[in-house]
Amino acid sequence: MSVISGLNCYIVSYDIMDRKRLYRVHTAMKGFGEPVHYSVFRCDLTPKGRVEMVAALTDLIKADEDRIMIIDMGPAEGEVEGKIEFLGVHREDKDEKFIIV
């Protein structure tokens, strides 16, 4: 990616208490990023994309039952891959750039 891409990498993890809401949140997240683990996505987003993701998720969850965690990993073209580490079995992905230990 270009250094002027304006994209930040976000790790999004969620705990959704209802199966229907879980399915809806998972489906919505596919539009914003790639799953890296069950209920965990990596999303490379512009500031506008982040706002759109938060708005979509806010509309889907019950704030008094569900929880979503968003971690800003910094510029997508930065050192993101070096900050993410997996242990054990992982999803096979030809384009995956994470460090697997």
The residue ranges of DSSP E strands in 16-100, in sequence order, are 34-37, 40-45, 67-75, 85-86, 99-100
- Answer whether 41's CB lies under 8 Å from 34's CB: yes
pLDDT given for residue 100 in this prediction:
46
**Confidence at 9, pLDDT banded by 50, 70, 90:** very high
For the stretch 25-67, pLDDT in tens is 999 999 999 998 889 999 999 999 999 999 999 999 999 999 9
Instruction: Go through the domains of the chain in sequence order and give each one's CATH number.
Output: 8-100 (3.30.70.240)
CA proximity to 60, closest of 7, 21, 91, 4: 21
Taking the C-alpha atoms of residue 17 and residue 74, their distance in angstroms, rounded to an integer, is: 29
Taking the C-alpha atoms of residue 68 and residue 32, their distance in angstroms, rounded to an integer, is: 14
Greater confidence, 40 or 81?
A: 40
